[in-house]
Amino acid sequence: MQELLNREKITRKILIVDDEFIERAILAKMLDGLYEIVYAEDGVKALEIIRRDKLKLSLVLMDLYMPELDGHSVLKIMQADSELRRIPVIVLTAEENAEVKSLQAGAADFIKKPCNQPDVVRARVKHSIELAEDSIIIHQTERDTLTGLFNKEFFFQYGKLLENKRDHAPMDAIILDINRFRIVNELYGQNYGDEVLRKIGGTIHKLVNEVGGLACRVNNDIFFIYLPHRNDITAKIQEYISMIEDTLENKKITFRIGIYRDSSHAGEKFEMERKFDFAKLACRKLRNTYTTRFNFYNEELRKKEIHSEQLINDIDKAISEKQLKVFYQPKYNISGDKPVLTSAEALVRWVHPEFGFINPGDFIPLFENNGLIQKLDIYVWKEAAAQIKSWREKFGVYLPVSVNVSRVDIFDPMFSEILSGIIKENEIEPEKLLLEITESAYVDNAGQIIDSVSRLRELGFKVEMDDFGCGYSSLNMLTALPLDALKLDMAIVKDICVNQKAYRLVAIILEIAKILEVPAIAEGVETIEQLNLLKEIGCDIVQGYYFSKPLPADEFEKFFS
Ligand code: C2E
Ligand code: CA
Ligand code: CA
C-alpha cells in the first residue's frame, strides 16, 4: 500500500475557488507543477465542479467571501454530504476571527490572506491532503483480519488508484472460489476452515506483492485478485494454482477460477467492477465441478449474459401478456394390469416474441438466482389450479396436477397463504395441487424447509420430493422429512436397462419408499423396457416420453377419453 499511495507518483487535483482573478493566479503560481489545478470564481461553480469531480479532487482551496454562494455555505453543503465530506477544504480569508468558525464548520485548515508565503501555502496544502488520505485509511477497517488482504471496499478504491498510477495499462481480474467450502468447514471444523483461508490468502498476498497487484477476500471464501495483464496468463495461472496447492497440502480442497483477460475486447475499456463481474461469470460456469479448474470470460459468455439480461427484463411482460405457457405431462399408475392416468405435472414454457419457444432449462436457473422465480411460479400455480378446475367442470375429471416449487418460494413467510388463496379461488382441494420440491432444496436448509412443508401438509397439501437420488440427502435425515412421494431423478432412471449400478440404485430407492410408506414416481421413462423393469421392481407411478411429452392443455385432453 505504501507503494500504492506513493505520494510523488500520483498528480493530485485541487480546486481553487476565489472571485478575484489575481488571487487565483497567485495561488496557482505557488502550486504550479505540483498539482493539477482547476478553478471556480464563485461558490455555485465550485459546487458544480466538486460534485462532478468528487472522486478525483484531493483538496479545495476556497475564499470565504464571494458573490452568489459564499465559502461558508459551500462548506456547509459539503459537510452534509457523505461523499463530499471526505474532500479537505482550506479556507482563505483576511478576516481575523473567521478561523475558528471555519474550522468548526469542517474546514481542514486555514490560510490568511494575502497569501504571500508560498512555502506555507505549499506545506499546508500537502499536509491537508496527506491527513485526509490517511484518515480514509484509518477510518475504515481496510484489511481482512484473517488473511491480511484488503476488504472489498478498499480493494476497489486502491484498485482505481493503481490503475491511475499505471496510466490505465491493462489489468486482469481473477476470482478464486473454493469449491464447497461449507463442506470443508463441516468436515474438518471451523478452525481448519480458517486455516485454509489464511493459507490461501497468504499465498495470494505474496503473489500480488511480487507482481504489483492487489487482492481481497469477499463473502468468506472468495478471493478477488487484480494483476497487471500478461500474455502468458494461462501458464501463470497454472503456476499460481500449484503455489496455492503446495501451501495447502490437502488434495481434497479444490477451487474454481474465473478470469477476465484485459485484452479480450480490443478498444473497449471496462471499469474494475465490471471486469470482476465478467470474471464472476466465467467462474460461475464452473459451479458444478469439484476439481480445480479455471475458465476465461469470452465473447460467447458475453452474448449469453446479454441474452440472460434480456430475459430478466422481459419476465414481467411475459407474465402479463401470457407468453408463458403451461404444458402438462401425464403420470400413470402402473401397479395394475393397465396403466391408469393418476395426475399430471405442470411444466412451463416461454413463447418469446423474439426468441420463440424457450425451454425452462434456459430460463428457470436464471430466475432462481435472483428471486424472480417466485413470480413465475405463482403464475404457474394459478394456471395449474385454474386448469384443474376447468377440466373438472368440462370433463368431470378431477385430476391432480403437480407444480414445481423453488427454494425461494419456500422461504417466503406467505408461502402457505399464497397456495391456500389459489386453491380457494379455484374451489379445489389442497391435495389436488401437488407440490414438487427438489431434493437439493431440503439439504440446504433442512430445518426451515421441514417447518414450512409440515405447515403445508397440515393444511392438506401433498409434497413430492423431486429429483431424488442425486445423492444429496443423508438417509437418516429422510425419516425426519415430511413427504408424500419420492420422485426418482431422471438421470438414474435413464440408465436402468444398461447399467447394473443404476438398476440397483433404483431398486434401493424403491425399498426406501416402501419403508417411508410413500409411492415412488419414476420420470424420464422413454421405452417399454424401462417401463417393464420398473414395474417388475415395484415402481408405482411413471412419467415420461413413453406415455407422452408435456402437452398444451387442450392436447392433453385426449387422455380423458
Ligand atoms: P423437472 O421438474 O425434473 O421436470 C422433468 C423434466 O423432464 C421436464 O423438462 C420434462 O419435460 C422432462 N421429461 C419428462 N419426461 C422425459 C423423458 O422421457 N425423457 C427426457 N429426456 N425428458 C423428459 P422441462 O419441461 O424442460 O423442465 C426442466 C426443469 O425445469 C424441470 O425439471 C423443473 O426443474 C424446471 N421447471 C419447469 N417448469 C417449472 C416451473 O413452473 N417452476 C419451476 N420452479 N421450475 C420449473
Ligand atoms: Ca418436477
Ligand atoms: Ca425431476
Burial of 490 from C-beta contacts in 10 A (0-12 / 13-18 / 19+): middle
Q: Is residue 516 part of a domain?
A: no
Is 389 in the same domain as 246? no
Alpha carbons 474 and 518: distance in angstroms, whole number: 18
Is 556 in the same domain as 411? yes
Report how far ligand 3's centroid is from the alpha carbon of 422 (Å): 23
Report how far ligand 3's centroid is from the alpha carbon of 523 (Å): 7
Q: Is residue 388 part of a domain?
A: yes
Report how far ligand 1's centroid is from the alpha carbon of 507 (Å): 23
Is 351 in the same domain as 430? yes
**Top mean-pLDDT range of 48-57, 408-417, 481-490, 525-534:** 525-534
Q: Which ligand is nearest to the CA of 347?
A: 1
- pTM to 2 decimal places: 0.66
Report how far ligand 3's centroid is from the alpha carbon of 122 (Å): 72
The mean per-residue pLDDT over the stretch 222-249 comes to: 91
Q: Is residue 539 part of a domain?
A: no
Q: Is residue 320 part of a domain?
A: yes
Mutate to test the pocket of ligand 1, among 323, 364, 467, 494 (most ligand atoms within 8 A of CB): 364
- Residue 373 corresponds to which cell in the numbers above? 422465480
Domain count for the chain, please give it: 3
Query: Any idea which of 27-31, 92-96, 177-181 has the lowest mean pLDDT?
Result: 92-96
CATH number of the domain that residue 120 is part of? 3.40.50.2300
Tally the C-alpha atoms within 13 A of residue 76's C-alpha that lie toward its C-beta.
9
* Band of residue 228 on the pLDDT scale cut at 50, 70, 90: very high
Alpha carbons 151 and 346: distance in angstroms, whole number: 46
Residue 137's pLDDT is what?
53
User: 220 is in which domain, residue-wise?
Assistant: 152-297
What is the residue with the minimal CA distance to atom 46 of ligand 1?
A: 404
Is 265 in the same domain as 350? no
Report how far ligand 1's centroid is from the alpha carbon of 347 (Å): 6
Mean pLDDT of the residues in the chain: 89
Domain boundary among 111, 142, 173: 142
Is 166 in the same domain as 137? no
- Measure Cα distances from 90 to 16, 72, 482 in Å: 10, 12, 69
What is the residue with the minimal CA distance to atom 13 of ligand 1?
A: 524
Atom of ligand 1 nearest to the CA of 489: 3
What secondary structure does DSSP assign to 457-471, as a single string? HHTT--EEEEEETSS
Contact 184, 191 (CB under 8 A): no
Is 483 in the same domain as 341? yes
Contact 514, 309 (CB under 8 A): no
pLDDT in tens, 17-62: 999 999 899 999 999 889 999 999 999 999 999 999 887 899 999 9
What is the residue with the minimal CA distance to atom 19 of ligand 1?
A: 524
* Band of residue 3 on the pLDDT scale cut at 50, 70, 90: very low
What 8-state DSSP symbol labels residue 558?
Answer: G
Report how far ligand 3's centroid is from the alpha carbon of 174 (Å): 35
Report how far ligand 2's centroid is from the alpha carbon of 405 (Å): 8
DSSP run (H or E) holding 344:
strand 340-352
Atom of ligand 1 nearest to the CA of 348: 38
Q: Is residue 526 part of a domain?
A: no
Cis check for the bond before 413: say yes or no (omega within 30 of 0).
no
What 8-state DSSP symbol labels residue 560?
Answer: G
Is 289 in the same domain as 172? yes
Domain boundary among 142, 163, 182: 142
CATH number of the domain that residue 252 is part of? 3.30.70.270
Q: Is residue 286 part of a domain?
A: yes
The mean per-residue pLDDT over the stretch 520-524 comes to: 96
Atom of ligand 1 nearest to the CA of 367: 44
What is the residue with the minimal CA distance to atom 7 of ligand 1?
A: 524
Report how far ligand 1's centroid is from the alpha carbon of 277 (Å): 30
What is the residue with the minimal CA distance to atom 45 of ligand 1?
A: 404
Residue 174's pLDDT is what?
97
Is 184 in the same domain as 134? no
What is the residue with the minimal CA distance to atom 6 of ligand 1?
A: 524
Q: Which ligand is nearest to the CA of 543?
A: 1
Q: Is residue 305 part of a domain?
A: no
Contact 491, 523 (CB under 8 A): no
CATH number of the domain that residue 424 is part of? 3.20.20.450
Alpha carbons 389 and 391: distance in angstroms, whole number: 6
The mean per-residue pLDDT over the stretch 329-334 comes to: 98
Contact 11, 40 (CB under 8 A): no
The answer to whether residue 69 scores a pLDDT higher than 90 is no
The answer to whether residue 259 scores a pLDDT higher than 80 is yes
Q: Which ligand is nearest to the CA of 550?
A: 1
Per DSSP bridges, beta strands 541-543 and 324-333 are: antiparallel
Is 483 in the same domain as 390? yes
Is 423 in the same domain as 556? yes
What is the residue with the minimal CA distance to atom 8 of ligand 1?
A: 347
- State residue 319 phi and psi, 5-degree precision: -70, -50
- Residue 125 corresponds to which cell in the numbers above? 496544502
pLDDT in tens, 391-445: 999 999 999 999 999 988 998 999 999 999 999 999 999 999 999 998 877 766 7
Q: What's at 21, amino acid-wise?
A: F
Alpha carbons 455 and 430: distance in angstroms, whole number: 12
Is 160 in the same domain as 87? no
The mean per-residue pLDDT over the stretch 531-548 comes to: 96
Query: Buried b / exposed e across 8-32, counting CB within 10 Å, b at 16+?
Result: eeeebebbbbbbeeebbebbeebbe
- State residue 539 phi and psi, 5-degree precision: -80, 135
Q: Which ligand is nearest to the CA of 434?
A: 2
Ligand 1 pocket (Cβ < 6 Å) reads 329, 347-348, 359-361, 364, 373, 377, 380, 404, 406, 466-467, 490, 523-526, 543-545, 550
Residue 4's pLDDT is what?
43
The answer to whether residue 5 scores a pLDDT higher than 50 is no
The mean per-residue pLDDT over the stretch 448-455 comes to: 88
Report how far ligand 2's centroid is from the alpha carbon of 436 (Å): 6
What is the residue with the minimal CA distance to atom 34 of ligand 1?
A: 404
Domain boundary among 112, 142, 172: 142
* Band of residue 1 on the pLDDT scale cut at 50, 70, 90: very low
Percent residues over pLDDT 70 in the chain: 94
Alpha carbons 115 and 93: distance in angstroms, whole number: 9
The mean per-residue pLDDT over the stretch 356-363 comes to: 95
Q: Is residue 147 part of a domain?
A: no
Report how far ligand 3's centroid is from the alpha carbon of 489 (Å): 6
Residue 6's pLDDT is what?
44
Is 480 in the same domain as 429? yes
The answer to whether residue 264 scores a pLDDT higher than 60 is no
What is the residue with the minimal CA distance to atom 3 of ligand 1?
A: 467
The answer to whether residue 482 scores a pLDDT higher than 60 is yes
